[in-house]
Amino acid sequence: MQLDSLIAGFSTRGGGAGARVTGCAIDHRKVAPGTIFGAFRGLARNGEEFIPAAVAAGAIAVVARPEAAVPEHVVHIADAEPRRAFARIAARFFAPFPATTVAVTGTNGKTSTVELTRQLWRMAGHAAASIGTLGVTTTDGEGKISQVSTGLTTPDIVTFLANMAGLAREGVSHAAFEASSHGLAQFRTEGLPVRAAAFTNLSRDHLDYHGTMEAYLEAKLRLFSEVVDADGAAVVWADDPASTRVEELVRERGARLLSVGTRGDALRLIERVPTQLGQTLTIAVDGREHRCTLPLIGAYQAANALVAAGLAMATGVPAADVLAGLGRLQPVRGRLERAVITARGAPVYVDYAHTPDGLRAAIAALRPHVSGRLILVFGAGGDRDTGKRPEMGAIAAEQADIAIVTDDNPRSEPPAAIRAAILAAAPGATEIGDRRAAIAEAVGQAGAGDIVLVAGKGHETGQIVGDRVLAFDDVQVAREVAA
């Protein structure tokens, strides 16, 4: 592929645009002869410092700010927003992509929503995939699920576009991906056509990066103001306070709006009745009421399923097929996943809830199923928003019958300091730093009628302590200590 065809329409200087492009990279260590290199200023490092190394390794073009120092014999694609420019150029290089792509943003529920969307598409006969916190998820012709990790909720732009292009080559026609606030702010979801976008909810998270809730919301709103196709669709969970702002933006953009929830127009939730292993939903569509059995526990899982249903409908799946598919949905890894039932009859659930709102929702989801006590094991991650720690402690103290505060992913922070910040708002909680011991204590206390909730890490299979990642899987540990 020729460089001049990839950079058409961009401001350039220096070098020769007729060279052949062999790849794209944002890591100078991955540059090979013929590569287009993206040099961006970050929080920790300035990628412009690595331009000489990238050029020495064979980069034929550099995407960077106009004031960046780029050798004259190399093409400099000069742009005030080099991340966005690089993404759009890289998309030209990696295309084609799956014909139908959708994106989901929000504080909680992104992972479940993209995976449930994938499942609904597959039931409708489409070759489908999801990309996000769980990695790249696909299903083969025999129904076997495959997951390949990408390392981040929204991977770097090169990995993201390469994965999307790879899915298209494998015959995937429909792909749903998570659009995190970091990914949107850093233009890691640009370039490919997005036919529909969805908003789940907004609550406190990532303020260590965004600073304020307003800035956090603004980052997410880019999905609707810039990323989704102007003639595409937006699915909005109408019951969240931030939904009004999202809906106004969608209308300004001219995209088709499908609101869902108890205040929704496209899918209105009339009634939700918990059952032993799920819930029964009464949903109004086009003025007619339908009753569906959803095999997932909790109000927030009903919300995720309805947003996924909206995305399926927005991309052409008939409403009747979507409603029938809700009854066949499978639980998502680490999202209120029942790990084990103890010998004394107490189920142990594992959930990714790592924010105040997520923790509150997970407890609320399980509470209708508790006849005894709800025993909670949780912590908070290090090197992240510190303000949410006492909020989570207060929620645990108020809503759990027994709370055990333990370590999550302390990273570079002293674990005891993180626990202390939580315990300051949960004086009645028990402190057990060792996560395995904490889970074992909860399981040991649980009897008939009790439910144990292990929150914070969900699907993760490692615990980050300092600069090490120690093997740790909440589901596996729960099974081991319950044996």
- CA end-to-end span of the chain: 58
How far apart CA 435 and CA 457 sit, in angstroms, is: 11
Known binding-site residues for ATP equal: 106-112
Cβ(18)–Cβ(3) under 8 Å? yes
- Tell me 11's DSSP state: -
Helix axes 356-366, 299-314, angle to 10 degrees: 110
Task: Compute CA 379 distance to the chain's CA centroid, rounded to the nearest angstrom.
Answer: 20
How far apart CA 439 and CA 407 sit, in angstroms, is: 11
- Tell me 223's DSSP state: I
Q: Would you state the pLDDT for residue 214?
A: 83
Provide the token pair at 483: 């044996």
Q: Classify 425 as helix, strand or coil.
A: coil
At 130, the amino acid letter reads S
How many Cβ atoms from other residues are within 10 Å of residue 120's Cβ?
A: 28
Provide the token pair at 220: 């997410």
Cβ(278)–Cβ(294) under 8 Å? yes
Q: What residue spans define the domains of the chain?
A: 3-93, 95-326, 337-482
How many Cβ atoms from other residues are within 10 Å of residue 5's Cβ?
A: 12
SS (H, E, C) 346-379: CEEEEECCCCHHHHHHHHHHHHHHCCCCEEEEEC
**Measuring CA to CA, which residue among 306, 294, 354, 312 is closest to residue 130?**
312
Cβ(183)–Cβ(189) under 8 Å? yes
The string of pLDDT tens digits covering residues 386-398 is 999 999 999 999 9
Fold agreement between 3-93 and 337-482: no
Provide the token pair at 349: 């659930």
How far apart CA 335 and CA 344 sit, in angstroms, is: 23
Q: Would you state the pLDDT for residue 154?
A: 62
Q: Would you state the pLDDT for residue 150?
A: 62
Q: Would you state the pLDDT for residue 140?
A: 73
**Measuring CA to CA, which residue among 99, 134, 98, 101 is closest to residue 117?**
101
The CATH number of the domain covering residues in 3-93: 3.40.1390.10
- Please give the helix or strand (H or E) that residue 444 lies within, else none: helix 435-445
The CATH number of the domain covering residues in 337-482: 3.90.190.20
Known binding-site residues for meso-2,6-diaminopimelate equal: 384, 408-411, 456, 460
Provide the token pair at 448: 């008939």
Residues of the chain with pLDDT under 70: 17, 141-144, 149-154, 204, 206-207, 209-210
Burial of 369 (0-12, 13-18, 19+ CB in 10 A): middle
How far apart CA 205 and CA 482 sit, in angstroms, is: 33
How far apart CA 15 and CA 5 sit, in angstroms, is: 15
Task: Compute CA 236 distance to the chain's CA centroid, rounded to the nearest angstrom.
Answer: 16
Known binding-site residues equal: 106-112, 153-154, 180, 186, 188, 384, 408-411, 456, 460
Q: Would you state the pLDDT for residue 141?
A: 64
Q: Would you state the pLDDT for residue 14?
A: 87
At 50, the amino acid letter reads F
Q: Would you state the pLDDT for residue 75?
A: 96
How far apart CA 260 and CA 253 sit, in angstroms, is: 19
Q: Classify 235 as helix, strand or coil.
A: strand
How far apart CA 458 and CA 478 sit, in angstroms, is: 12
Cα Rg of the chain, angstroms: 23
Q: Residue 462 — φ and ψ, nearest 5°?
A: -145, 155
- Within 13 Å and on the Cβ side, how many CA atoms surround 363? 25
Cβ(375)–Cβ(453) under 8 Å? yes
Cβ(296)–Cβ(313) under 8 Å? no
Q: Would you state the pLDDT for residue 283?
A: 98
Helix axes 319-326, 110-123, angle to 10 degrees: 120
Q: Classify 65 as helix, strand or coil.
A: coil
Give one DSSP letter per residue of 403-421, joined into a string: EEE--S--BTS-HHHHHHH
95-326: which CATH architecture? 3-Layer(aba) Sandwich (3.40)
Provide the token pair at 225: 């103001």
Provide the token pair at 196: 């529909």
Cβ(89)–Cβ(17) under 8 Å? no
